[in-house]
Amino acid sequence: MKDHSPVAGIHSVRSALKFGAEGVGELWLERSRRDRRLGELADLARQGGIQVRSVDRGELDDAASGANHQGVLAWVRVPASRTERDLSAHLDRIEGAPFLLLLDEVQDPHNLGACLRTAEAVGVHAVVAPKDNAVGLTPVVCKVASGAAETMPYYQVTNLARTMDALKSRGIWLIGTAGEAPGDLHAADLTGPLGLVMGSEGTGLRRLTRERCDSLIRLPMLGRVESLNVSVATGVCLYEALRQRRHA
């Protein structure tokens, strides 16, 4: 479908239908497959006024591009990225301490999709990234995010450093990650108004981004590997923040 990307698999499709049904164009079910869970997805789609089609397995295989579709695929509209003005209005509506994720020039759509999925899972209020040299909400991002691209607000800003200054003026504490940082993740205070800042896949945090962080922390690395994939590192940091915030 034009302007829609395929989201495959029972869990991912259920998330798209439950939390972003307005963006789902069609639901495809494998014609020859009999599965109670597929029937539940069909009912969920029809309740939302979404067309349900029975298709051959070959059509699902082609559309899913190798993903394990489990006999179901949803065509989901790729959401538009939001802007600085949208971010300011969104922050005004947050009740309690803001919890943000800032991604400095993350360019791999698989990494962004994974970051959005984890951010949504731990209750992050918004993900912020620069417009330039960073991936937007592509069909691949939506597929990897498994429904989180529709529910997690993603803001692409013209100048990330300037946006960080604006966040700090709101009392949001910005903590960046760097391998050489003296502070340890588990010793850092990740409660209160927080913006966790993660660097790009290759070079990490840019100089201006690093300079605007209130503090820098590192992940404990006990093996020979010097760094983690940015989406893995983001997941580790976000769940440590969630642990602290739940017990604050």
Q: Look up tokens 């069609």; give the residue.
A: 26
Cβ atoms 109, 143 nearer than 8 A: no
DSSP 126-147: EEEEESTTS--S-HHHHHHHTT
Q: What share of the chain is helix, strand, coil (3-state, %, to 5)?
A: 40, 25, 35
pLDDT (0 to 100) of residue 238: 98
Q: Does 228 appear as a known binding residue?
A: yes
The pLDDT assigned to 228 comes to 78
pLDDT of the chain, 248 residues: tens digit per residue: 667 878 888 887 887 787 777 788 999 999 999 889 999 999 999 999 999 999 999 999 998 888 789 999 989 887 776 888 899 999 999 999 999 999 999 999 999 999 999 999 999 999 999 999 998 888 778 778 877 887 899 999 999 999 999 999 999 999 999 888 888 999 999 999 999 999 988 788 999 999 999 999 998 877 766 677 899 999 999 999 999 999 87
What separation in angstroms does the CA of 190 have from each of 31, 203, 204, 235?
49, 24, 20, 14
Please tell me whether residue 30 adopts helix, strand or coil conformation. Answer: strand
Q: What integer pLDDT is reported at residue 50 of this predicted model?
A: 94
- Strand-pair partners of 129: 156
The pLDDT of residue 241: 98
pLDDT of residue 155: 95
For the chain, list the domains and their CATH numbers.
4-77 (3.30.1330.30), 84-246 (3.40.1280.10)
Q: What is the pLDDT of residue 21?
A: 74
| Pairing of the two strands 173-177 and 183-184 | unpaired
- Per-residue pLDDT, 236: 96
CB distance 198 to 103 below 8 Å: yes
Pairing of strands 4-8, 72-77: antiparallel
Rounded Cα distance between 152 and 158, Å, is 20
Tell me, what's the pLDDT at 1? 65
Q: At what angle do helices 36-47 and 10-19 cross, to 10 degrees?
A: 20
